[in-house]
Amino acid sequence: MHHTIFDTPVINSLMFLFSTGMLRLLGWKIDGRAPAESKYVMIAAPHTSNWDFPYTLMAAFAMRLNLYWMGKDTLFPPVLGSVMRWLGGIAVNRRQSGNMVQGTVDAFHNAQQLAVVVPPEGTRGKVTHWKTGFYYIAVGANVPIALGYLDFKRKVGGIGKMFYPTGNLEADMAEIQKFYAGISGKNPHQFSSEHIQVKGD
C-alpha cells in the first residue's frame, strides 16, 4: 500500500496535536481506543455530510490510527487525487466492485498491518440499503470489523467495538444495526439504522 500522512512521522505528530486541540475546542469527545488487532476493516457511519471527512480524519489522528479509506474515483481527479491518496485515500470504481473486494482481500493477506475504512452507505445522501463490500472483505480476509461512528448530536466519535463476522450476512447485519441505533449523523433525517437493508455490491 502507498505511503500516507498517517505514516509520515513529524506531520503525523503535528496532526495529533492539531486534531486533539481542535476537537476539544469544538466540544467533541473521542470514545474508545485504537484496536489491538493489527488488521481490520472499519465501517464509517452514518455518512450524511461532507463534514464527515474532516471529523473522521481528526478522530483518526486523535486515536493514533493508521488508516486507508475508500472513496469513489471521482474524488481523485488529477493533482487533487495525489493529495487524497496521501491522506489515505483509495479510489474505487463502483463498476468494478467485485475486483475491489478481491483486491482488498489480497492486500490484507499480503500485509502484516492494515486498516481500511469503508463507508457502507457509499454516499452522503439518504439510502435504504448498505453496500456489502466491507462485509465480504472482512470475511474473505478473516479480519474483524471496527464499528466506527460520528454522533453529531452528542459530539462523540470513535470506535464502539470490534465485530467478528460469522459468515451469516443477515444475522450479522442485524447485530451491526443494533449498534448504530440512536447514533445521529450531521443530517440525521438521512440515516436510520432501522431502515438498513443489505445490497450486494
Q: Give me the pLDDT at residue 201, please.
A: 54
Cβ atoms < 10 Å from Cβ of 177? 17
Q: What is the pLDDT of residues 48-102, one digit of tens each?
A: 888 999 999 999 999 999 999 988 777 788 888 889 999 999 887 766 656 788 8
- pLDDT above 70: percentage of residues in the chain: 87
Contact 124, 49 (CB under 8 A): yes
pLDDT in tens, 117-167: 988 865 555 556 788 889 999 999 999 999 999 999 999 999 988 999 999
